[in-house]
C-alpha cells in the first residue's frame, strides 16, 4: 500500500511539474520586441566599458582570463536586456577563470559541470569555452524552466530577427553548445534526475531565495568530493539577501572553504571548494 501511495504521489507531482513547465513555453519574457537595435547597442556599450579591478586580480591570480572580444560578442546577444537593474556580465569572467584553474589543478578523463538557471545560455557557454580552451573532455548540464526548443522573444537584440528558440539563439556558438545538455524544468525537480555520479564544478543561479539556494546546494554537494567547486551568483547584500543568508549558513557548516568576490556595488560572488 505504501508503495502504491508513493507512486501516486510521484505521478501527481510529475504531472504538476509538467504543467508548470508548459506555462513557460508561451512568451514567458514578453510577447513583443522590447527596444530598438540602437537601444540594445547603446546599453551594450555602457556595460562593456565598466571596469572590474577585483576580477582583474582574480584572473591574475588564477592565470586564466577569457577572451574579452569573444565574451563581449556573446554578451551582446545573451546579456543585454531591458530591465531596471544594472546591466553587467562579469560573472562570465569569474566562471571561466575559476573553471580553468580547477581543470589545470585537477586533470581528469571527464569533467561534469552543472548549472541551475540557464536563461539565454551565457554562463553555460563561458564554462563550455573553458572546457574547450583547456582541451578537456566534459560537458555542462544546465537546468532552466525556459524551454530550449520553443521559439519566443528573449528580450535581446536578436528579437529583431523574430522569435527564436534558445538553440537558434546560440547557433553562432554551435561547437560549444554541443558540449551542453539542456534540461527544462524547476531545478529542484530536475537536479535529482541529472543522472551523474559526481559534479566536479557547479554554478548556482536559479531562484534567489535562501530556501532554494540551500536546497540546490544540498543536491549538488551530495555529488561532490574533496576538491570539487561550487560557485554562487548574486551574493549581494541589499539586493539578494536570501542568497547572502544561504552562503552564511553554508560557510558555518564548514564543508566548503568559501571565498567571496565583490566586483561592484551590484555584483558579488562566492565560491567554495569541498574540503572532505
Residue 42, pLDDT score: 97
Residue 226, pLDDT score: 96
pLDDT digits (tens, 9 = 90+) for 104-137: 999 999 999 999 999 999 999 999 999 999 999 9
Mean pLDDT for 238-266 is 96
pLDDT digits (tens, 9 = 90+) for 155-187: 999 999 999 999 999 999 999 999 999 999 988
Residue 9, pLDDT score: 54
Residue 1, pLDDT score: 53
Residue 189, pLDDT score: 86
pLDDT digits (tens, 9 = 90+) for 225-236: 999 999 999 999
Mean pLDDT of all residues in the chain? 92
Indicate if the pLDDT at residue 254 is higher than 80: yes
Mean pLDDT for 53-70 is 98
Q: Extract the C-alpha cell encoding 15.
A: 504531472
Q: How far apart are CA 99 and CA 5, in angstroms?
A: 43
Mean pLDDT for 221-246 is 96
Mean pLDDT for 34-57 is 98
In the chain, how many H helices and how many E strands? 11, 7
Per residue in 254-270, is it b (16+ CB within 10 Å) or e — as a string? eebebeebebbeebbbb
Residue 3, pLDDT score: 54
Residue 170 backbone dihedrals phi, psi, to 5 degrees:
-95, 10
Mean pLDDT for 56-63 is 98
Residue 13, pLDDT score: 47
Least confident of 137-141, 156-160, 206-210: 206-210
Amino acid at each position: 500500500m505504501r508503495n502504491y501511495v508513493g507512486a501516486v504521489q510521484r505521478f501527481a507531482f510529475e504531472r504538476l511539474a509538467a504543467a508548470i513547465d508548459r506555462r513557460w513555453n508561451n512568451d514567458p519574457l514578453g510577447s513583443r520586441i522590447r527596444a530598438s537595435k540602437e537601444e540594445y547597442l547603446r546599453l551594450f556599450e555602457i556595460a562593456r566599458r565598466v571596469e572590474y579591478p577585483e576580477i582583474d586580480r582574480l584572473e591574475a591570480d588564477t592565470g586564466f582570463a577569457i577572451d574579452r572580444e569573444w565574451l563581449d560578442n556573446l554578451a551582446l546577444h545573451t546579456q543585454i536586456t531591458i530591465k531596471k537593474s544594472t546591466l553587467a556580465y562579469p560573472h562570465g569572467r569569474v566562471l571561466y577563470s575559476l573553471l580553468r584553474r580547477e581543470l589545470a589543478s585537477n586533470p581528469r578523463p571527464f569533467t561534469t559541470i552543472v548549472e541551475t538557471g540557464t536563461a539565454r545560455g551565457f554562463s553555460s557557454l563561458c564554462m563550455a569555452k573553458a572546457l574547450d580552451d583547456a582541451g578537456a573532455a566534459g560537458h555542462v548540464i544546465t537546468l532552466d524552466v525556459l524551454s530550449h526548443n520553443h521559439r519566443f522573444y528573449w528580450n535581446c537584440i536578436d528579437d529583431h530577427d523574430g522569435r527564436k528558440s534558445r538553440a537558434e539563439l546560440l547557433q553562432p556558438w554551435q561547437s560549444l553548445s554541443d558540449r551542453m545538455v539542456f534540461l527544462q524544468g524547476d531545478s529542484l525537480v530536475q537536479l535529482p534526475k541529472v543522472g551523474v555520479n559526481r559534479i566536479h564544478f557547479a554554478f548556482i543561479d536559479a531562484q534567489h531565495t535562501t530556501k532554494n539556494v540551500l536546497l540546490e546546494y544540498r543536491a549538488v554537494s551530495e555529488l561532490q568530493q574533496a576538491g570539487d567547486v561550487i560557485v554562487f551568483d548574486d551574493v549581494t547584500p541589499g539586493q539578494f539577501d536570501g542568497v547572502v543568508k544561504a552562503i552564511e549558513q553554508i560557510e558555518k557548516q564548514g564543508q566548503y572553504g568559501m571565498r567571496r568576490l565583490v566586483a561592484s556595488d551590484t555584483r558579488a560572488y562566492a565560491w567554495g571548494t569541498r574540503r572532505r
